Every structure is written in structure tokens, then in C-alpha cells.
Structure 1
Amino acid sequence: MISELHNVIISSIKRNDRNGNAEAITKNETDIATLSDNVEEKLTSIFKGSGILVGDFSVDDENGKPLSFEKNLNKFIHLDGDFSIKTPNLFAEKVSKLLAAKLNSKQGKIANDGFLVTYLYSETDIDEDEDEDEDNLEQKFYLCLIFLHRISGTDIDEDELIFEEIERVNLDSLNLGAKISLNDWAEDEDRVLSFKLGKGTGAVREYFKEFLGCSETKDHVEDTNALKAAIEEICKEKGITTEQSNEMLHQVRLYCLDRINNHSDQKVSLDVISKMLFPKAENADTADRFMQIALDNYRLGDEITLDKTTLRSFAKFYGETKDYRVSFKREALTNGNVEFNKKSKTLTFKNLPDDLIQELNKR
């Protein structure tokens, strides 16, 4: 996967000393060539890993039309393939003023001011084991907005060799930020937003969701099915055997049921599941890859809502046609009660229950 930054614009959102109102100032677009590799890497990876939520844009309840932020997307984003921003500075100015307005209302009035960084980057999926045709490479574009606050720190003055207090921004610990998958947004897909709303932001974080005009998406059945599919995909990609894959699904099912039954919790952390499936240090890359698959391919957030009934599929084989429905435990294949013939694509069931045998004999 190759990431490339295309636009970076920083807006200052400061509170006026006289009345406390937040005011936004946007200047020139940042020259990408002046950014260090470290900053580029942080900006393009800041929405990977734990703590990600997913959501969709809301609409005006009265007329069903997009809210202010999405209106600006429609106005400023080219949808002709490369998803470039028309007049990036003007777009950043518009959205920074939207955020400043939210800082002047409701919970936002007690929020700190800071800097809104608006940037566009793309990811190109390249398989290093195959010769790639540049015209057929899959490229996805993401528009990101991160709100950074100055934090206090300590440094050492090299001339005087004394401690000095400094203020800085921290890209390693993001409290408020959103990433919009422009490809999916253009195709009117679900769950186009990934965002971080740090725990330390408390109730104040609601103003950031209002600024975006979005809501968190929670679908218990879809989340549970997507979790199963993500586990199966990482197992297939890493060559994990079917038996091991089944055991991993069984392990996750037991953990999820424990959260539901014993902790009254219908949600689990994707990061916790990742570390449970791949706990050893040498598996860290696989754990990270699993997170990437779950977040990017299945649009899961780090907090997954659970459906108890759907969790049954983690421990059973299931399928149906218009004529019949079949379901059996995975261990039935190993204890001899069910046999699968790959060549003829047939299943043989043994030790049928007596009531079923009696019903069949009547036929």
C-alpha cells in the first residue's frame, strides 16, 4: 500500500480575548515538499489502529437535504476520478468557519481552541508479488480533518542547559478528527466516515460531530457478520488452517458471549479482539493487518456492537436454498457425524435424531 499526500491546509481557530468567541483564519496551502517524511507518515496513518468509530452523514430532517459540511463537499470536491479539491484554501476556510461556529454554541463554548488541519491523501493498493498495470491500480482518496490543541511540554535549552516550558501540538495522540472515504461517498455507500473522538474530550466532543453533520453507525447484525468475515479473511490471507480458523472464531464467540451474558455489554473492542487472536509480539504485524482489513474492507469501528443470534454462525456451518436449510456444529466434521465429499459436493449426516427418522419413515 502506497500513500501520497496531495493537499494540506492549516487553519487557526482562536478565541477572541474580548468576548471569547472563536474566529477562524486560513492562509496559504502548505507546500507538501516541505513536510518531513515523519509528518507525512503520521498524517496518512493517524486513522489506523484502535479508537476508530464509523458513521454516516446526516440530512436535514425537514427537507432531507445535506447539512452544511456535506454541502461544501458537493461544492468543492471533483468527482471525475481523482477526487481533487477545487480551490483547497477556500474549502479549508469554509469548513474552519463552520467549526468555529460550533465552538461558539452549546457544549463547544467550553472547548479549547486550536488548529484545524484539512488534508487530502490517496492510497494505492500494490501487490509486490505481481506485475501491476498502472491503469488498473485501485486508488482510494481520503479527505481528513483533524483538530489539534496546543499542549504543555518541557524541553532543555541547549545554550543555558536549563529546563524550559514549551507548547506544541501532538500528532501521536489525536482527540478529534475525521476521515471521509471519497470513493465510497461518491458511490453513496454506507459508513463513509471514520473518526476519532478521544475519551478525554468528554461531552464536548459532540460539537465535532455536529460540525461534520454526522452520526455514529451501529448495526448489531452487520457488525457481527463483518467481524466474522474479517477473521476469515485474515486467516485465508495468512494461510491459517481451517481448523485453526474455526478455533479462533470459537474463541471470539466465547469472549463475545461472555461480554453479553456476564457484563451486560453488547459491544467489544476490535483492538482487544486483535490482541486476543494474535497475542505474541512476533504476531504484531498480523494483528495490525487484521485491524486494517476490519477497518478498511469491512468498515468496522474499533467499538463493535454485537448480535447474540448472529454469533451462532461463528460456531456452525450454515446454508440454505429455496428447498432446505442446513446448519451443524463445526466439530461434527471431526467427530464423524457429518462427512463432506469435496468431489461430489455432498454432505452425509449420521446419527440422525429418532424423531426425524420416524418422520422420514412415514414419508
Structure 2
Amino acid sequence: MTDVNAMILGCAGPELSAEEVSFFQEAQPWGFILFGRNIETSEQVRRLVSDLRASVGRKAPVFIDQEGGTVRRLRPPMVADYPAASRIAGLYRLDRQAGVEAAWACGRLIAADLLALGINCNCAPVLDMPPATGSGFMADRSYGTDVAQVAALAGAMARGLEAGGVLPVIKHIPGHGRGLADSHKELPRVSASLDTLRSSDFLPFKALSAALMAMTCHVVFEAIDPENPATTSKRAIEDIIRDEIGFDGLLISDDLSMNALSGDIATRALAVASAGVDIVLHCNGDLAEMSAVAERVPRLQGRAYQRSEAVLKAEPVADDTDLEALRAHLNRLLTMESG
């Protein structure tokens, strides 16, 4: 057991308040996550990241959602925009090698943007597969409806991130694609049979099961546990994510604040931790809510501690890729898709 609590927390604004510094020093979250409300300028973000780490007295992991497409917290002119996963999927259908190269390039270039700010973990790539119609909440964020394609492109993006010194978090295990509702607003339910899920949705995660980190989905799979979303389902976590998919890395919940979960924030935190998730994620930066989470979340211990240490020890070093040449290459590849 350590003095570090099994949680990742956000903060309210672009700089820390004295109250936040005091709270983080006492609560000792394992890591932090940034959102648009925390971002003004490059220098300000670097200072915020440094202050967050100083508040806990160690180089805590700092996360962000920078997928490309619409899901990105850093925006121009601070950083370049990158294509959505669906556009990379379109390129892959034209030319598989070009698609894989583009996915890797996006990961490598995004990593350079993040590392320059001190951010060392990215909540990407997305491995969720929408229904064969290609519709649903995750459609634009997905690499497609074909298992091999999704695994190839997500794997390439993950390798690109690692080549740039940033650790990926695969998401949303065991698969949000059939959950057509937006889990930020309501609880999606999936009625597909277990055989169907095994032959499709689970497979990209199985292909990338050696990843160091994965994020859960707030989706009810009626064939697995009709009462609880995967994030709070011991059956989904133990039987499916750990045993069947074979993921033994650090398992992080999706955001506790999302409306897909029920109960007050403390109840949610306890349910997530009790189900077997290693790290509880709370994003909105509300100090009262974070205090309630901290009271319910355990210290890192046992396998969760070992997995968290594996993440810290595996911090990759950026390679010497010529970033401007890579950016030009990516633009040429994307011209193939748009032309």
C-alpha cells in the first residue's frame, strides 16, 4: 500500500487555487486530467502541469483527451488540428498502408504537442466499433466497423504516441460502439448477444490487450450484467475485461460525473472501486465532489499498485522523428483521402 489514492482528478481553471493545492497535497491523487477550461496558453499549461505535480510532490501522470477530430482539448493556434478517426478509416479503405502510416503520424505529432506541455498520457486511441451501419454516438471517433481495420489503425496511433514519449489509454473497454446513446447524457444499453460481442466488439481490445492502460465504458451489456454499466459491474470487469479480453493493465474508469451513472458522486466512486476498477476518474474539478470521491476511493495497493507502477516505469522517450517532414507526409496522405 502507498500513500497515493487510486484516482485521477481535474482542476477548476487555468491555475490552481490555494484550496486546490491544499486538497491535492492531502488527497494525493495518482494523476490529473486537463480539459478546455484549464487551457489558455502554452506557457500557462506548462506552469499548471508543474504546479499540479508540485502539489503532490512527485511526477504524477497528467492526462488529456486529444483524439483528433472533434474530441480535442488543445486547439489551434496552440496546436494543429488532426483528422478524426473516421477520416483515417476512409484513407485505410483506399490504401491500407497509407491509413496505417497516417494513424501513426497522428499519434506521433499529437505526442509532440502534449510532451511540449508536460502532458505524458493521452486518453486515446478509441477502439469502439459502431454497428455495421456506421451510425451512433461513437461513429466519427471510430476507426470503422471491421475488427482488423480498427485494431490496425488504433494500434498504429498507440505506437505513434509511444514513439513521441506519451502513453496511450485505449478506450472504451469492452466497447462503447453499440451503445448508441451519449453516455455523457444518459445510460446506453446494448442488447447484443455475448456471441455477437465476442465476435466483434471485444476483438480490437483483445488485439491490443497488452496496453498498459485502458478506460472503461458506462454502458450496460444486457448479456453480461443487465443491472450495471460495465464501469460498475464486477462481472464485466472480472469475467470479460480481465479474463476473456485478457487485459491486465491499469484499468481507469470513464468520468464519474457523466449522467450514465446513478447516485451521488460518493456512491458512484464506491461502486466503481468496489467493482474492481484500478483508478477512479473524476473530471469536472468541483472541489466538494473531489473531496467526496477522495473519502470513498482506496489507497493504491495490491495489483492496482503494481499496474500503476508498471505505467510509471514504462514512460517512453521520444524518438528523433523529423516532425515537419512527418507533418508534410501526413498532409500528402490525407490529400489521397479527400481527393
Task: Specify the structure having the higher radius of gyration (Cα).
Answer: 1
TM-score range, shorter chain: under 0.3
Larger proportion of strand: 1
